[in-house]
Every structure is written in structure tokens, then in C-alpha cells.
Amino acid sequence: MKHILTFSLSCALAAVTQAQTPFPVPATVEIPAGSFYMGSMEETECGDEMPVHQVILTHAFRMGVTEVTNAQYEAFRPEHHALRGKNNVSTEDDDAVVNVNYQDALDYCAWLSQKTGKHYRLPTEAEWEYACRAGTYTKYFTGDGLPANMCRNQTIARDFKAVSLKVGQTTPNAFGLYDMHGNVEEWCADWYAPYTAATQTDPTGPAEGEFRVTRGGSHHTPTDYLRSAKRLAMIPKDKHSQTGFRIVESDFIPQPPSIDKSRPFFLEPMVYVVDPIDPKVPFYHHNHQPSITWCDNGDLLAAWFSTNQENNREMVVLASRLRPDARQWEPATLFYKVPGRNMTGTSLFNNGKGTLFHLNGVEASGDWQNLMMVQRTSTDNGLTWTKARIIAAEHTKRHQVISGTTQTPDGVMIQLCDAGPGSHDGAAIHLSKDGGQTWTDPWDGAPLPDFQEGGTGTTIAGIHAGVVCLKNGHLLALGRGNGIEKDGRKCMPMSLSKDMGKTWTYSASPFTAIDGGQRLVLLRLQEGPILLVAFTGHPQRTPKEHRGMTFTGKDGRTYTGYGMYAAVSYDEGKTWPVRRLLTDGVERYLNGGAWTGSFLMDATHAEPQGYLAGTQSPDGTIHILSSRLHYRFNLQWLEENK
């Protein structure tokens, strides 16, 4: 793995400074700005060091040469002296202070800042690992082994031996930092949360959590816990004889990047399928078929199924939440499960009047052909939900819920479902004219039509369809499969209904048909236009000559792009003049999960497939989920090349 650092050896050996004050101040050394790859590819007991991801630190900072000592801490809080020697450790003035909780460490930093006129804080987790590694990628900055003089009874011990925690007695790393491996664990500023694969700049961790990060390992701990990449967590109010802290002096306070949402923006994809922390939450290898909605409190709520096989009974519906300005989605929690039943098909919807809706399919056996439909509601941003109410009692076809619940301007709610388990069975429509109290399917029992140009029928062409209500009251739908031949290629079918879904007329859209492992999004944006998000064909099943789409770059030049794109119509679906590949041109190696797997995003390639879900939050941000990733952009960004 190639390492990128922007420091020189002369910087790394910068002189240590010591403030001239009447009380002891921790000495610091400058850590230069730079970038590195954070984490480890090794399988560990917690699995929380993966994925390895690039971190860019844009500002230099000064870091404590050693951990804060008893003498330094007790100048702030003299009463701590009574804890010296507890559990046979940390007895002397120059021993690392222990038995301090997270708030104790923050309070010391605030006191030191006030006393010196400088700004002291705890290091972020990324700053800590960057400073510890000092340009290395071995297990320890010393190599793949730890020298004996750095070890302080490195074993699991019920009772501590009397070991010295005197700081600065062993060889420092290339930055001039001592005791980064062992001695005592060190509090970091971040809430503990899983890593994501995306490159991060000055990361600060999530906005909230249950545990704070500690780093470095301690005495009476196996050496594996002392590695550069090793992560630990603590309840913030916990304090014990193995954890202290080290300070950072810096005027730069890492903050989540501010986004001017009145200007065009496309944000780096985030992972929303985050492994649960609670071991009681079932979490399987196949996580798929998501839905997403905005909440009135500013949160985003996503739900999806987790299973080993799609027609198995262990399938559960999980959910995750993204708080406003948070950098990471929260770990998955159990959202809904009827024990022993298959749960295929989930949709979330905010009706704009303070109520969230959750609609789901429930199978009697393991397959997804014969489902009933249930509905739950929430009036507290998804914190609590009503008990599930059956809204379509028959276990039959036409009940596999598709994400994308919507409503017409006069309040009729629309829910699409796959009309059958086959890839060319089309989509059914369910309507509620009383705010979700009762639902009806206008289907008259007619067999599946022959979906072809100019044909008519009582079923939408294409499974996994999306629908919008046009300004004239008609319904427009686009779907997967049932491709209609036009100009020598199979096109995505377009269905139009003038009688609220009783009958449909079929035509070929201008877009290449999509296939297995792919699902589209069709949305009416709050600005007025219609948005389609789909794929430029299937990466294997579409003939090679039809897989790409022509796009126009900022320089006015055209190019062929591949993968997920967005198209915008200003004339109710007649034409789609805005078409943009969903990438900002930055090269990233990403994992789309489910049937997608790993792929390379760059200037001409976006995610090649995935089950999409979408919503637009009140601030105008368009949110698109694939099977694992969360994309965020606005209409202005789509229109940049218009």
C-alpha cells in the first residue's frame, strides 16, 4: 500500500517546546499536515479496523510528546493525588495520569487553554493514528513486533503487578512522540463508530454515540491491543487504572464541512448499511432492497432487508438513521420482523403532515410470491411506531412492496408493488384516498398484457417500477424489464394511465432497459421537474454497443459514460434534456453491496447496478440509496451542464 505524506524528516524532528509557566505544561511537538491510510486489512476480533480508507489532515497540529502526567493533571485538580498508586500503578509525578474519565480530560484541556491562552483539546481518532504511525504501516511504529522495553506486563491480568508508568523512557517515533504503544490507553475526541471506505478530510466521527474512542492500549494488556490501528471504546463516564490521555495544541478545530445548499453540490458517497453494535440484532450477509425518507426533525431514515437468501424465513427489516450534519449513518437496528416469515418489500414515506408511513410485505412461507401487506405509522420521526395493521389481507401476487410511496396533489396515496415474482411480471398499483386507512387495487383480474409499443393493459410495464402524478392528473410510470424494442435496442418501458391506474398505455422511453440487480427511482422534485435515476443498461446482459450513454461535460464536450445516471424532465416526461452521470469525477474504489459488489468510480464510470431508493429532503437535497451507498446532490448540480 502506497503511503502519501507531505512532511519532511526535518519537520518530523522539530524541536519540542515547553511553556514557561508556574505550573507544569505538557511539552508538544509539531505534527505536519498530510495524508495516510487509516485502519488495517487484518481480520480482528471486533472487525472494526476495516475498511482501510484514506484520511487527509489539512492542518498541522502540535501533540503532547508524552501522555499527561500526574504532576501536570494535579496542578489542575489536586484532589486526584489520592488516586495515586491505585491498583499498584501511577504513583510518581512523572507517571501517566490514569483514573480520569472523558469529561475529566476535556476539563483539563479547557483549564490549560484558559491558563496559557493557547487552544488545547483531545486528538481526533484520525489525528492519533496518523501521529502514531509517523509514516509507517507496520503493526507498530517499531515494526511488526514491540521491543521488550516498551512492554509493561503485556498479558491479561486479574491483578496488576507494580509496573512503572513513567513517561518518555523508550524510543520515540519519527515525529518525536513517546509511549504511543502501551503505557496507558488514551482518550480521543470521537464517538466510536464503524469506518467507511470513502476518503475523509479532517474527520471527526459521528455527531453522537454511546462510546468514546480510546487508542494505544495499556499496561497489563496483550500486545495486539497496542497496535497502531487498534481501536477501543469506553463509556465516557468510565474511569480506571488503564486509561489516561494526551493533548493536542491547535487553533484548528475539525468540523463537519459546511455545505452551501444554494449552490451546486455532489457529496462523496456514504455507506448506510452499517453493521449493528448490538449482537442481538440479526445481521446477514445479503442486505438489499432499501427505502428512505426524510423526517421532520431533519433526520434521514433508511430501511432494508437483511438475509442469507432472498426467499428465506430468517429475513429481517433493519433500519439506520443519519442525523443532521453527521458524517456517518448510525449502526443498524432491528426495524420490523414477523418471526419465521419472509419480509420482502419495504417502503417508507413522509406525508408532509407529520406522519411517517412504513409499508411492508409479509409472506406465509419462505418465498416472496404470495404476500400480504401491512402498514405502520409514526408521529415522532420514527422513534416509535404503531402496531402493524393489515391493509391487503390476501396472501397473493401483486403485494411485493416497492420503495417509492407517493401521493397526488389532492392527497391520494400511491403504492406500487411487483405484480408477480417474475422479472417480466410488471407492477401493480394500490391507492388510498383516506390517508392510508384503506387501500384498493384497481386491477380487474385481466391476465398480464403483451407489453409492447402502443399496447394497453391493466398492469404497469416493468417490475420495481416508479410512478409520478403528472400535472394533468395522469400517472406516468417507468419500470425494469419488459423492454420495448426501438431503433435496434431494448428501451425502458414507459406506462401512462389517464384513469388513476385502471388502464395503462405502453411506449418506449428514450432510455436503455435495465435488468437484474437494478432498480430505478422516479421522483417529482419540489422545484417542479421529474427526476429519473437509473443505469445505462446492465453491465452483463445489455449488448456492449448499448451499455453506455452520451453525456456532456462542463467543457461542452460529449463522452460516453457508464453506470448510474440522473435525467430531468421539465415537460412531464416528454423529453429529458438534462442527463448526468452520478459521479464527481473523483476516482474511488467502492463496494455497492448485495448484487453489486466492488466497482471503480471515476469520470466516466458510476455505480453499475443496485436497487435504488430516493427522496428529496425539504432543504432541496436529493438522496439516492443504492444497495449499500448513499448519494447526495441537488438539482443545481444536475443542471450545471444544461
pLDDT digits (tens, 9 = 90+) for 525-553: 999 999 999 999 999 999 999 999 999 98
CATH of domain 9-249: 3.90.1580.10
Q: Above pLDDT 90, what percent of the chain?
A: 83
Measured CA to CA, the distance from residue 548 to residue 542 in angstroms comes to: 10
Return the half-sphere exposure (C-beta side, CA atoms, 13 A cut-off) of residue 271.
25
Confidence of residue 11 (pLDDT cuts 50, 70, 90): very low
Measured CA to CA, the distance from residue 466 to residue 405 in angstroms comes to: 9
Confidence of residue 6 (pLDDT cuts 50, 70, 90): very low
- pLDDT score, position 257: 52
Cβ–Cβ < 8 Å for 473, 479: no
Confidence of residue 484 (pLDDT cuts 50, 70, 90): very high
- pLDDT score, position 641: 76
- pLDDT score, position 505: 97
The grid coordinates listed for 47 are: 472487525
Position 132: which residue type? C
pLDDT digits (tens, 9 = 90+) for 136-170: 999 999 999 999 999 999 999 889 999 999 999 99
Measured CA to CA, the distance from residue 590 to residue 412 in angstroms comes to: 39
Kindly state the DSSP code that residue 150 receives in the 8-state scheme: G
Say if residue 2's pLDDT is above 60: no
Say if residue 181's pLDDT is above 50: yes
Mean pLDDT of the chain: 92
pTM, entire model: 0.67
Confidence of residue 184 (pLDDT cuts 50, 70, 90): very high
Average pLDDT over residues 379-395: 96
SS3 state of residue 27: coil
Cβ–Cβ < 8 Å for 338, 346: no
pLDDT digits (tens, 9 = 90+) for 296-341: 999 999 999 999 999 999 999 999 999 887 777 888 999 999 999 9
Say if residue 619's pLDDT is above 50: yes
Measured CA to CA, the distance from residue 573 to residue 12 in angstroms comes to: 60
Say if residue 453's pLDDT is above 50: yes
CATH of domain 269-392: 2.120.10.10
- pLDDT score, position 12: 32
The grid coordinates listed for 407 are: 401521493
CA torsion angle 5 9 12 18 (round to 10): -160
- Find how far residue 510's CA is from the centre of its chain: 33
Measured CA to CA, the distance from residue 294 to residue 297 in angstroms comes to: 9
Q: Contacts by 568-573 with C-beta closer than 8 Å and gap 24+?
A: 568/525, 568/529, 568/530, 568/531, 568/532, 568/635, 568/638, 568/639, 569/529, 569/530, 569/532, 570/528, 570/529, 572/470, 572/471, 572/472, 572/476, 572/530, 573/468, 573/470, 573/476, 573/494, 573/530
- pLDDT score, position 21: 63
Per domain, the residue ranges of the chain are 9-249, 269-392, 402-482+496-513, 514-642
Say if residue 220's pLDDT is above 80: yes
pLDDT digits (tens, 9 = 90+) for 247-262: 999 988 766 556 778 8
